[in-house]
Amino acid sequence: MIEIDGSAGEGGGQIVRTALTLSALTNTPVRIFNIRAKRDKPGLRPQHLAAAKAVRSIARGTLEGAEEDSHELSYTPSGIIGGKYEFNIGTAGSSILVAQTILPLLISAKKPSEIKITGGTHNPKAPSYDYFERVFLPALNSMGCEIESEMFRAGYYPTGGGEIRLKVKPSKPKPTDYWIRVPFPQTQAIISLANLPMLIAVREKKIFVHNNINRVYVREEKCNDKGNSILAYRGFIGFQVMGEKGKPSEKVGEECFNGIRDEGDVDVDHRLADQLLIYASLAGKTSYKTSRISSHTATSINIIGNFLHKSFSIEGTTIRVE
């Protein structure tokens, strides 16, 4: 059994998700303790619990300590089984983080899978569905993975209730140093609006148009709650900002524009650099340049090292795996 200190590095829920994914992939028992010890509300929250139970459903085995607020979790997998699954977070917790936890398992299964996840789709501390659809999945598919997604309903705080569906075929990421090249890297933006005046989107769009970004799309979401989110992206670089009550629309737009501009001329944005690490490890010889090395990335590399015999190197902001 591999033991992981959940307070190490950035000390968030990412440690739980990454460790459980790798445990299932390598069929290695894992014990995670001090879960989210550095957070204001330590222990497992509903979205982390949902991710843990999703892994248990797909890779079978035994899961102990899977309760809300639990500070310790043990898991012994017994083999990945593809098929049809449904997962309901029960809150506005991120359905995207649950999806990202189980996708490495589903591409490793022996048969195709169809997944339905109910929860939040646009969260301030997680990738939005727009980012998942327009940046994350295209990057995986360019590596050789075969994954399709669709959002049937958006889910914002506090109710959630969003629904996404995935179709995943067994596939293996391919080792390559050039998959990152994108044929049409023009910056675009998607403004998602739910139960709010269209004027908000108009004011946000003006910021991009004034900065010579004209491919800006507005998507009015079907949703129980009010919400606003912007994703700016080009190729495999994305930056998202959530609208907030009392925050001027122009400021939301400016923050998003500045974020995508500051990512610079790289292969992948700094968040995607972290999200691709497991796939790069499965592929083998892979490299990509990002804008900066985040604490999430450093933490993920350490956890992957516990399960997979892969050699990582970081030169400046270029990550290589052998």
- Identify the three-state secondary structure at position 301: helix
Residue among 122, 210, 296, 309 flagged as catalytic: 296
Beta-carbon contacts of residue 77 (< 8 Å; ≥ 6 apart): 23, 24, 27, 28, 29, 55, 59, 60, 61
DSSP character string of 194-240: ESS-HHHHHHHHHHHHHTT---EEEEEPP-SS-EEEEEEEETTEEEE
The Cα 185–Cα 276 span in angstroms is 19
Q: What's CA 200's distance to the chain center, in Å?
A: 27
The Cα 310–Cα 322 span in angstroms is 6
- Does the annotation mark 122 as catalytic? no
- CA distance from start to end of the chain: 25
- Identify the three-state secondary structure at position 9: coil
Is residue 31 a contact partner of residue 74, using CB atoms and an 8 Å limit?
yes
Nearest to 267 by CA among 211, 196, 316, 301: 316
The 3 state secondary structure assigned to 61-122 is CEEECCCCCCCCEEEECCCCCCCEEEEECCCCCEHHHHHHHHHHHHHCCCCCEEEEEEEECC
Is residue 164 a contact partner of residue 129, using CB atoms and an 8 Å limit?
yes
List, by residue number, the catalytic residues: 296
